[in-house]
Chains A and B, each alone.
Chain A
Amino acid sequence: MFNFFRKRSDKKVVVIGLDGVPYSLLVDLINKDKLPNMKDIFSKGYFGSMKVCLPEVSSVSWTSFMTGVNSGTHGIYGFMDFKPGTYELYFPNFRDLKVPTLFDELGKKGKRSVVINLPSTYPAREIPGVLISGFVAIDLEKAVYPSTLLSKLKEFNYRIDIDTAKARTDHDFLMRDLDETLRIREKTINYLWKNENWDLFMAVITGTDRLHHFLFDAYVDENHAYHEAFINYYQKIDNFIGRIYEKYLNLKSKKAFFILSDHGFTQLKTEVYINRWLYENGYLKFNTDKPQTISDIGHGTLAFALDPSRVYINLKEKYPLGTVDKNDYVRLIEELKQAFLEIKYENEPILRQVFFKEEIYNGPYLDYAPDLILLSKYGYDLKATVQRDSVFGQSGLKGMHTYDNAFYFCDNEKLTCNTIFEVKKRIIDFYTL
């Protein structure tokens, strides 16, 4: 009841996230007249490619979006990370975030946010507004703030995600589940759009990322059995964007419309198992003949890797079985950098660049950063599994993330953006313009 008396905001922002959608794919489909709504919308503002973070995974990228800073400051380096001083892994979640989010900062200015399906916000916590966590949220009851919204979401049969395990191998199921999840997501969006007071409204579609992981080859190959289904799904996304945009146009306040992705995608040529390479080249040892996890690391290890592209030096003062003296650190990272850059697949180097941590991270959590971060060429999907007996291989996935092929759009052409770290500031800038 008291919301009625709340002063109407004179500015509203709408942000739509399309997880894993590459700029090049949108340009291609727009040019082929497959996406009329986005073609129209993108012609009325700034639309361009955008670089994201490293590693270019959703947990880090969406976190970088909502905080505007890099992992050395926000503390999230990947879907999983090493517990400090050990080889044991844990799963960093929203409670591990070290800095306030865009929504917290807007809240301090009296702005209220409705956030739906944003990855890396699980378990949900209080924000000034409404939060429904996205990937990798598991328990809906822990994925919603305020909890009073739960009953409505259950009534909608709300889904956090598709059934990825089943969808990976059953592509008919994949397409059905994508459709149903999108339908329920839109129903939820419509409900909250209408029934909540908000200054910022954000919703993320993650189905696009799932589609790309499992069927990116269906986009590339026009003769693929699922090519038409792939395009159809994108047309549904386009129609969804069109409907949201129409609601946006009917807002009476000053407003801004943003659409972005958190990374791009490209077709996968081969997976590259970094820990296998380290093992074959004498940098990594195991304490068993059949290692199952990186925790099976053995004496004499100089370096080891974590998904997807993070390499750590086994420093004496940092790890229980640390071997490398700090005086040898620089020599070793230089040596590894050169060696990584020389890795070839079918006579082609697989890496574009190798970064030292100080080159891409800064902040109080720099100590937790990997020592080397690898950026591969398109097609070479870096993995850190220890259960492979060759450096190159396949797992059945068809697409891989890219770092420099995400996209960004804003209907205010002055609010341009080149990296995902800038988006938060653009949104806040809009409120202060």
Chain B
Amino acid sequence: MQDKIIIITGLPRSGTSMMMRMLKEGGISILTDNIKTADEDNPYGYYEFEKVKDIDQDMSWLEDSKGKAVKIVTMLLFKLPSYNDYYIIFMKRKLDEIIKSQKIMLRRMGKTPKYKDEELKIMYSKHLNEVESWLSKQKNCKVLYISYNETIKNPTKIALSIKNFLKKDLDIDKMVKCVDASLYRQQVEDESGINISSSLSEDERDKIKEQLKALGYL
């Protein structure tokens, strides 16, 4: 395990920062430069490493990342050299939620999305299929797919699955405490405009809305 590189990947806003924090609290060293600091979208920080973006020009940092976790977006996975072994934790989240979360982030930055939601959804789906298909063929990559929503609902179960995957003795309690459901809210807005705290399933949200409506709220 010491010579393997742990990669946290996923589309932007799929829970990669949360997973980095979980691993850090669980006892895994992480590779980050803290250049991108915490903000409203990620109050606990991004845990990014700027040099990842220039992986085409400079891969020297990969040597330092052995035995550590580093965040790499899916688009850059194809650039990983084949002479290393990688444990990849791939964060999956509903595309509607990802797109919504990205729009909120862009709005806070004063920007507008370049593509319509449906266009983005098709592009992301196609991209994810390509990445996953490519990964399945890489003998030097072991991949664990983690559902962001399941992590919110059952953090203990997810933390244990990561422990088994990495074969490392992790502090499960500390990992679970990282899952702050009050911050990781589902971003899918339904017809009544309610985004409910992520510790609730979509079915629960619908039922809660019905109950509140019956009593004159909403």
Chain A residues with a Cβ under 8 A of chain B: 57, 79-80, 83-86, 88-93, 95-96, 123, 135-136, 138-139, 142, 161, 164-165, 167-168, 209-210, 213, 271, 292-296, 307-308, 320, 381, 383, 385, 395, 397
Contacts and interface: CB of A to CB of B under 8 A. Distances in A.
B36 interface: no
Contacts of B199: 93, 95, 123
Interface in B22-52: 40
Nearest to B182: A96
Contact of A85 (B108, B201, B210, B214): B108
Contacts of A57: 217
A307 B193 CA distance: 14
Contacts of A395: 216
B169 to A, nearest CB: 24
B100 to A, nearest CB: 9
B217 A92 contact: no
Most buried by B among A86, A90, A135, A292: A90
Interface string B190-205: 0111111101110111
A91 B196 contact: yes
A81 B1 CA distance: 45
Contact of A91 (B200, B215, B216): B200
A415 B208 CA distance: 36
A96 B195 CA distance: 14
Contact of A165 (B189, B191, B201, B210): B210
Residue of B104, B196, B203, B208 with highest tally of chain A CB at under 10 A:
B208
B142 interface: no
B193 A213 contact: no
A289 to B, nearest CB: 17
Q: Which 7 A-B pairs have the closest CB atoms?
A: A293-B193, A164-B214, A91-B196, A295-B193, A96-B182, A138-B204, A165-B214
Contacts of A385: 218
A274 to B, nearest CB: 13
A164 B215 CA distance: 7
B152 to A, nearest CB: 10
5 contacts: A80-B212, A80-B218, A90-B197, A293-B193, A296-B193
Nearest to B209: A91
Nearest to A161: B211
Given A84-B40, A85-B108, A164 B197 contact: no
Interface in B160-208: 181-182, 185, 189, 191-197, 199-201, 203-205, 207-208
A307 B197 contact: no
Contacts of B181: 95-96
A136 B197 contact: no
A213 B216 contact: yes
A296 B201 CA distance: 24
B69 to A, nearest CB: 26
Q: How large is the interface on B (under 10, 10 to 19, 20 to 34, 35 or more residues)?
A: 20 to 34
A295 B193 CA distance: 6
A204 to B, nearest CB: 16
Given A79-B217, A138-B208, A292 B194 contact: no
A320 B108 contact: yes
B216 A80 contact: no
A210 B217 CA distance: 13
B18 to A, nearest CB: 15
Interface in B96-117: 104, 107-108
Nearest to B214: A164
A135 B205 CA distance: 13
Interface in B69-113: 104, 107-108
B193 A93 contact: no
Given A80-B194, A91-B200, A320-B108, A136 B189 contact: no
B215 A89 contact: no
Contacts of A307: 217-218
Given A95-B181, A320-B108, 12 more contacts: A80-B194, A80-B212, A83-B195, A88-B189, A89-B195, A91-B194, A92-B182, A123-B199, A138-B200, A138-B211, A139-B201, A161-B211
Contacts of A292: 191-193
Contacts of A308: 217
B85 to A, nearest CB: 38
Nearest to A268: B216
Given A79-B212, A292-B191, A90 B196 contact: yes
Contacts of B214: 164-165, 167-168
Contacts of B216: 213, 271, 381, 383, 395, 397
A294 B197 contact: no
A379 to B, nearest CB: 15
Nearest to A97: B182
Given A85-B108, A136-B211, A96 B197 contact: yes
A86 B104 contact: yes
Contacts of A167: 214
A318 to B, nearest CB: 11
B26 to A, nearest CB: 20
A36 to B, nearest CB: 31
A374 B74 CA distance: 50
A136 B217 CA distance: 12
Contacts of A139: 201, 204
B200 A213 contact: no
Nearest to B104: A86
A167 to B, nearest CB: 8
Contacts of B197: 90-93, 95-96
Contact of B195 (A90, A213, A381, A397): A90
